[in-house]
Structure formats: structure tokens, C-alpha cells
């Protein structure tokens, strides 16, 4: 979440309230967060020197945060690094903020995301092949039917993501 907040603050300095609204307005499409978790992440970023208080309204205690040079470097390192964690969140969070990177860095980011999706798709395809060899007892036929449907959904999702990010990668590479 910290890198998502850095990305939002790179777009514009914001208060906690503004960040909560930014999550609701767009980021929630790929990342959900409570106001408490956003506040904790802000406190951590502040303690690590990745953001600073740009201004503070003493009467209401409203603080507006902005990214420091160290925060810019941390954000760039995250964007250009290997995607980790949940594949969909890792892919979509980088896609959402891709325009913050210089044009020459974008194809590499898309390439790493695409490679991660391809690897995940191969894992699911291997799992599907192994499951096809399993004999299912009569007592588990209904359960297996829906578990296989879940696997098919995952395969379809990965196939779509692979095609989508592959096309973006090709378009970005020119």
C-alpha cells in the first residue's frame, strides 16, 4: 500500500482525507484499504522519510503530505522492480501509475508484469493438467465441478491478462 500512496502523492500532494477519496475514486478498482490502514501507511512513510508534511492547518490539524526525493527513488525502484505479491494487484497498480515513469522505462515495467502473468498462467495450466488425471469419487463430484469452474475462471482471467499486457507491451515497445 505504501507504494500506491507514494504514487498518489506524486500525482499531487494530498491530505489523509484526500487520499481516502483517491482510493475510493480509482485505486479501489485494484486495491482496497481502510482509512486506518491508509493512516498507518502514511505514518510509516513519514517515519521512513519517504514523505513529508508539506503544510498543516493548525486549527483543524489537517496535514498535506508530499513525496521526498527518497520517496521518489523508492517509488521508481518499486515500479521498475519485479512484481511481487498478488499478480492482479501488482499488475494493475503498476499500470495505474505507469504514466509517472519516463517513457523509456515503461516497456520494461510492462515486460516484467507480462512475464509474471505468463508464469502464473503456466502454473495454472500445469495444475489443470494434473487435475485432469485425478479420479474423483462419486461423493465429491459436485464439489469438484465447482472447484474446476474456479480453476477455469482463474485460467480465463490469466489468459485475458496475458493478452492485455502483451498487447500493451508491444504497443509501448513501438
Does the pLDDT of residue 174 top 80, yes or no? no
Q: Are 63 and 13 in contact (CB under 8 A)?
A: no
* Confidence category of residue 159, pLDDT binned at 50, 70, 90: very high
Q: What is the pLDDT of residue 150?
A: 93
* Confidence category of residue 5, pLDDT binned at 50, 70, 90: very high
Q: What is the pLDDT of residue 24?
A: 86
The separation between CA 13 and the C-alpha centre of its own chain, rounded to angstroms, equals: 21
Q: What is the pLDDT of residue 39?
A: 92
Three-state DSSP class for residue 101: coil
Average pLDDT over residues 148-159: 94
Answer CATH for 2-80 from 3.40.605.10, 1.20.1200.10, 1.10.260.40, 1.10.10.10: 1.10.10.10
Q: What is the pLDDT of residue 58?
A: 61
Of the candidates 4, 29, 33, the one whose C-alpha atom is nearest the C-alpha of residue 97 is 4
Distances (CA, A) of 85 to 35, 53, 92, 174: 22, 29, 12, 29
pLDDT digits (tens, 9 = 90+) for 95-147: 999 999 999 999 999 999 999 999 999 999 999 999 888 888 888 888 989 99
* Confidence category of residue 29, pLDDT binned at 50, 70, 90: confident
pLDDT digits (tens, 9 = 90+) for 30-85: 878 888 999 999 999 999 999 998 887 766 678 899 999 999 999 999 999 999 88
Amino acid at each position: 500500500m505504501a507504494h500506491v500512496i507514494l504514487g498518489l502523492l506524486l500525482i499531487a500532494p494530498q491530505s489523509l482525507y484526500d487520499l481516502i477519496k483517491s482510493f475510493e475514486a480509482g485505486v479501489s478498482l485494484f486495491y482496497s484499504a481502510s482509512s486506518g490502514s491508509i493512516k498507518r501507511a502514511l505514518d510509516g512513510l513519514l517515519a521512513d522519510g519517504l514523505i513529508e508534511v508539506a503544510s498543516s492547518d493548525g486549527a483543524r490539524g489537517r496535514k498535506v503530505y508530499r513525496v521526498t526525493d527518497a520517496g521518489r527513488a523508492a517509488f521508481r525502484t518499486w515500479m521498475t522492480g519485479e512484481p511481487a505479491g498478488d499478480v492482479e494487484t501488482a499488475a494493475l497498480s503498476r499500470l495505474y501509475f505507469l504514466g509517472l515513469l519516463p517513457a523509456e522505462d515503461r516497456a520494461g515495467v510492462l515486460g516484467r508484469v507480462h512475464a509474471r502473468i505468463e508464469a502464473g498462467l503456466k502454473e495454472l495450466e500445469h495444475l489443470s493438467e494434473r487435475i485432469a488425471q485425478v479420479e474423483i469419487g462419486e461423493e465429491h463430484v459436485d464439489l469438484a465441478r465447482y472447484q474446476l469452474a474456479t480453476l477455469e475462471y482463474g485460467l480465463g482471467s490469466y489468459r485475458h491478462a496475458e493478452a492485455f499486457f502483451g498487447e500493451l507491451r508491444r504497443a509501448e515497445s513501438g
